[in-house]
Structure 1
Amino acid sequence: MFEDTLELAENKLLLLYIFKKIKFPISDNAITEIILENDFINYFTMKQYLNELLSSNFITQIDKANNHNLIITEKGLKVLCLFKNRISKDKLDIIDHYLEKQSKNIKEHLSINTHVLKDKNNFIVDLKISENDSILMEIKLNVDSDKKAKKLCKKWEKNFSELYQKIVESLMEN
């Protein structure tokens, strides 16, 4: 019984770890693929764990045009930080290696766009993340110089996943 509880905790923490490493919303199908390809958890048990993580607010669902993407919450990050040491080093290494190899494939479904428009004395910077023609996030900022506009675009393209996660976390906080 005790071993079952430890395995359950480790598997849920492993799911949280994957969400943290990916840093942007991921579809239920994508997380399922990661777990099943690495033979960590069976399909039905994983679905149960995802539902429990959702109901505990360790992950949250972001719905955009019939896409149900999942992302770790601040609460989930705190729990993971406290108990990450309960995930076996072997599993962490496997996931890190897998995500390193597959990050391009995972991000291929995402489209990162930046656009700058000149409007009288200002520049309007349009920053966007889309997945399969569905907009996950779009931010329009008004800045006073072309230099600032280019800097924002460069930073968005380089750090979109971290910025997205921080914005979503801020908006989801109580």
Structure 2
Amino acid sequence: MFQNNTEDVAKQKLLLLYILKVSPGSLTKEKLSEILIDNFNMNFFIIQQYLSELTSGGFVSLDNDEGNQVLVLENSGSKSLDYFKSKMTDSMISKVHGVFNLNSSGNPTPVQTEATSYPRDNGEINVNLKLTEMDETVFSMYISVPNQEQAAVLMEKWEKSPDYYYKSIIELFIDNKPTI
């Protein structure tokens, strides 16, 4: 019914193994299928066939994780992937890294923090606090403070604990409780 040449089949199976290897969390069959369909235009039935073949071949197994059946890359699957990874195209690898926000080494891309200041005409200092991920700004906030000392304190606090301050700011907007 579906025709693929053997090299394409091998690349698609390697892609499946690679996604399981670099995924930062456990993947169910459904989530893996969603990733492959949305990002690689793969056919749902082909994905299920490949999963069945990889499972029966001992490359992938199913395990229970908090009530969900998740896919596990077995040692033989990892070894095969390491041996044949050169068959995968750079664009395939880059696309997988994009799906999981990974850098070129396959490690999670850290969120970058930035804190800059510049003087305003009225003598105050504008401070920009920013978070970027994969060159995309995910958060940016400008604050005007009276002097450079306060700007320096603000920027230092942001650089030391961006997660804490970002979460606190978001919670202020999301929390439905009045604060005044």
TM bracket, shorter-chain basis: 0.5 to 0.7
Q: TM (normalized to structure 1)?
A: 0.53
Alignment of 1:86-165 (within 5 A): 86-100=87-101
Structure 1 position 50 matched with structure 2 position 38 = no
Q: Following the alignment from structure 1 to structure 2, what is the Cα–Cα distance between the partners of residues 10 and 97? A: 18
Indicate the structure (1 or 2) with the bigger Cα radius of gyration: 2
Please say if residues 59 and 77 of structure 2, whose CA atoms lie closer than 8 Å, have aligned partners that are also in contact.
Answer: yes
Equivalent in the alignment of 1:169: none
**3-state SS of 1:100 partner:** coil
Equivalent in the alignment of 1:78: 79
**3-state SS of 2:40 partner:** coil
Structure 1 position 60 matched with structure 2 position 61 = yes
How far off is 1:23 after superposition? 5.2
Unaligned 5+ runs, structure 2:
103-107, 110-180
Counterparts in 2 of 1:97 and 1:72: CA distance versus 1, 3 Å: same
Please say if residues 11 and 87 of structure 2, whose CA atoms lie closer than 8 Å, have aligned partners that are also in contact.
Answer: yes
Please say if residues 24 and 100 of structure 2, whose CA atoms lie closer than 8 Å, have aligned partners that are also in contact.
Answer: no
Equivalent in the alignment of 1:27: 28
How far off is 1:24 after superposition? 4.3
Q: Following the alignment from structure 1 to structure 2, what is the Cα–Cα distance between the partners of residues 66 and 79? A: 29
- Which has more helix, going by share of residues? 1
Q: TM (normalized to structure 2)?
A: 0.52
Structure 1 position 69 matched with structure 2 position 73 = no
Unaligned 5+ runs, structure 1:
104-174
Deviation larger for 17-26 or 69-78: 17-26
1:30-55 CA distances to partner (integer Å, 9 max, x unpaired)?
A: 10111011134111101100110100
Among the aligned pairs, what percent are the same residue? 29
Equivalent in the alignment of 1:12: 13
Deviation larger for 33-42 or 10-19: 33-42
